[in-house]
Amino acid sequence: MSPQIGVRPGGRSARVQQAVHDAVRELLAERERDELTVPLIAARAGVTPSTVYRRWGQLPDLYADVAVERLRPDTSPADLGSLEAELDTWAVQYLEEMASGPGRRMIADVLAGGLDNPRRCLCSTYSGDQIQVMLDRAVARGDDVPDRDTVLDRVVAPIVYRILFTDPAPEPGYATRLVADLLAVSPAKAGPPPERADRR
Amino acid sequence: MSPQIGVRPGGRSARVQQAVHDAVRELLAERERDELTVPLIAARAGVTPSTVYRRWGQLPDLYADVAVERLRPDTSPADLGSLEAELDTWAVQYLEEMASGPGRRMIADVLAGGLDNPRRCLCSTYSGDQIQVMLDRAVARGDDVPDRDTVLDRVVAPIVYRILFTDPAPEPGYATRLVADLLAVSPAKAGPPPERADRR
């Protein structure tokens, strides 16, 4: 019930984690979720059920862990020459992935692991790290930029909130508007306040 | 598995819902959650277990329904003479309630009912309705105001995102900053862009 945030890459613990995560992903691709059990997952991973129980507690905790791992970005945001282009491209892709069936399933799995599970915070860390890469590039170009937390508040948070609490899911244009609104009032482009009429 | 969004007040269906919701709340106050079963809840409510299964499916769906109902506001936001004062007071209270143990439990319960459950959207409807009351009063005072969706994006969404995906929980001052930042660029107070240095 207290999953480890840091696992030494390549260590025994990391190998067990990898094997169990792989087993979950394989089994979820083959069967309905409610057919999965800890003994079944353990057998596929080649570990004992008690290893799984000891490390992850119950299935929701294990699924949360697998979902967090899947949410870890595998590439850096593309360098497109301007913060607005990069942030827009990233936010549209983020929205599309998270609003998809598998994306919604991942968010639900992460949260089903409980709001006391510290690993859920990795979701905002991953997004924040990607944002930081784009902000650092913009600063290197000489732009004055909003900070990482402001981008999380103004772009990521509304996308996630809409996916969680509104139907239908937001469209990609929603992400584009959030980015445009944020950068319209950033010091880099200080000017007249944005028109409200074009807001949703 | 397809809970009814609208239940005619006072009808038989509404009385069953009330009795079952009351039974859940009473039993959760008396026992640990994992001791509760559908037959136990049905017995307390004076209905058959099949009534509960037919209407709510499984326990997570029932808990989600009870949580959504608890999130329904029972009072209108206070009239404090200005949008900034009202929105600040409302947002601080919203943050404090949602970030509390019971608040987090309610959010988790709502989401555990599944991201395909339309009732989860009532959470944003309730918040939006409260915001609309404050916006309507401000318009009646002659103010130019942001729209309801913009307030959800700029104030409610970041509060919920931080509760769900960051530790420690946000402090009340975070809600105050979100409201101040939003209204600093609203047409009612169009002026120079806000200082970024005082941002978190």
CB spacing of B187 vs A193 below 8 angstroms: yes
Q: Confidence band (pLDDT; 50, 70, 90) for A74?
A: confident
Q: Average model confidence (pLDDT) for chain A?
A: 88
pLDDT digits (tens, 9 = 90+) for A130-166: 999 999 999 999 999 999 999 999 999 999 999 999 9
Q: Between A108, A147, A154, which is nearest B115 by CB?
A: A108
Of the residues A61, A163, A164, A200, the best mutation for testing chain B's interface (the one with the most B CB atoms within 10 Å of its CB) is A164
Residue with tokens 């510290």: A118
The domain locations on chain A are 12-57, 83-189
pLDDT for res A97: 95
Quickly state the pLDDT bin for B36 (edges 50, 70, 90). very high
pLDDT mean over A166-187: 89
Q: According to the model, what pLDDT value does residue B8 have?
A: 58
- State whether A193 and B185 contact (CB < 8 Å): yes
CATH 3.30.70.100 fits B83-189, yes or no: no
Q: Is the confidence at residue A2, as pLDDT, over 70?
A: no
pLDDT for the residue numbered B3: 45
Percent of chain A's residues with pLDDT above 70: 87
Identify the band that residue B185 occupies on the pLDDT scale cut at 50, 70 and 90.
Answer: low
Check if the beta carbon of residue A200 is closer than 8 Å to that of residue A177. yes
Each residue of B100-121: pLDDT tens digit? 999 999 999 999 988 989 999 9
Name the residue in chain A with its Cα closest to that of B123.
A165
Task: Give the model's pLDDT for residue B9.
Answer: 62
* Structural contact between residues A150 and B199, judged by C-beta atoms closer than 8 angstroms: yes
Task: Find the CB nearest A153 among B111, B118, B158.
Answer: B158
Predicted confidence at residue B5, as pLDDT, reads 54
Distance from CA of A155 to the nearest CA of B (A): 9
Confidence band, pLDDT 50/70/90 cuts, at residue B189: very low
Please say whether the beta carbons of A152 and B159 come within 8 A: no
Asked if B188 and B143 count as a contact pair (C-beta separation under 8 A), the reply is yes
Yes or no: domain B12-57 corresponds to CATH 3.30.365.10: no
- The per-residue pLDDT for B74 is 87
Is the model's pLDDT at B57 over the cut of 80? yes
Contacts of A121 in chain B (CB under 8 A): 165-167
For position B191, what pLDDT does the model report?
43
**pLDDT greater than 80 at residue A21:** yes
ipTM: 0.85
Average pLDDT over residues B12-17: 89
A83-189 has the same fold as A12-57? no
Residue A144 is given by DSSP the state -
Q: Does A46 touch chain B (CB under 8 A)?
A: no
Spatial separation of the C-alpha atoms in residues A30 and A18, rounded to whole Å:
18
CA A41 to chain centre: 24
Determine contact, residues B120/B64, Cβ cutoff 8 Å: yes
**Residue whose tokens read 């404050």:** B134
Q: Mapped to the 3 state alphabet, what secondary structure does A34-63 carry?
A: HHCCHHHHHHHHCCCHHHHHHHHCCHHHHH
Instruction: Evaluate whether A79 touches A137 at the Cβ level (below 8 Å).
Output: yes
